[in-house]
Structure 1
Amino acid sequence: MSTYWTGKRVRLRGIEPEDWQASMRFDGHAQHQRSGDVLHPPRSAESYRVRAAEQAVANPVGDCFRLAIEALDGGEPVGGISTHEADPRAGRFAYGIGVGADHQRRGYASEAVVLLLRFMFGERRYHKCEASVYAFNDASLALHRSLGFVEEGRLRDHEFFAGRHHDVVRFGMTAPEFAERHSLGEL
Structure 2
Amino acid sequence: MTVGASFWTGERVRLRGIEPEDWQAFMEFDADTGHQRSVDVLHPPRSAERYHAWAAEQSVAAPDGDDFRLAVEALDTGDVVGSLATDGTDPRSGRFRYGIGIVGEHQRRGYASDAVVLLLRYMFGERRYHKCEAGIHAFNDASLALHRRLGFVEEGRLRDHEFFAGRHHDLVLMGMTAPEFAARHPFGKL
TM-score normalised per structure 2: 0.97
Pair 1:15 & 2:7 matched: no
Q: How much has 1:186 moved relative to structure 2? A: 1.9
Q: Secondary structure at the match of 1:165?
A: strand
In 2: Cα distance, 1:150 partner to 1:74 partner: 33
In 2: Cα distance, 1:16 partner to 1:147 partner: 29
Pair 1:144 & 2:147 matched: yes
Aligned positions of 1:63-82 closer than 5 A: 63-82=66-85
Q: Which amino acid aligns with 2:122?
A: F
Pair 1:161 & 2:155 matched: no
Q: How much has 1:34 moved relative to structure 2? A: 1.1
Partner residue in 2 for 1:173: 176
RMSD: 0.7
Q: How much has 1:76 moved relative to structure 2? A: 1.1
Q: Secondary structure at the match of 1:136?
A: coil
- The answer (yes or no) to whether the contact 1:118–1:185 under 8 Å persists in 2 is no
Partner residue in 1 for 2:115: 112
Q: Secondary structure at the match of 1:179?
A: helix
In 2: Cα distance, 1:183 partner to 1:115 partner: 12
Pair 1:39 & 2:42 matched: yes
Q: Which amino acid aligns with 1:51?
A: W
Partner residue in 2 for 1:131: 134
Q: 1:184 aligns with which of 173, 184, 187?
A: 187
Pair 1:90 & 2:93 matched: yes
> In percent, how many aligned pairs have the same letter?
74
Deviations for 1:47-100, whole angstroms, at most 9, x for unmatched residues? 000000000000001100010000001111100011000000000000000001
Partner residue in 2 for 1:50: 53
TM-score normalised per structure 1: 0.98
Q: Size of the alignment, in residue pairs?
A: 187
Q: How much has 1:2 moved relative to structure 2? A: 2.5
Q: Which amino acid aligns with 1:88?
A: P
Q: How much has 1:184 moved relative to structure 2? A: 1.6
Question: 4+ runs of 1 displaced by more than 6 Å?
Answer: none
Q: Secondary structure at the match of 2:63?
A: coil
In 2: Cα distance, 1:123 partner to 1:2 partner: 16
Q: Which amino acid aligns with 1:45?
A: A
Q: Which amino acid aligns with 2:21?
A: E
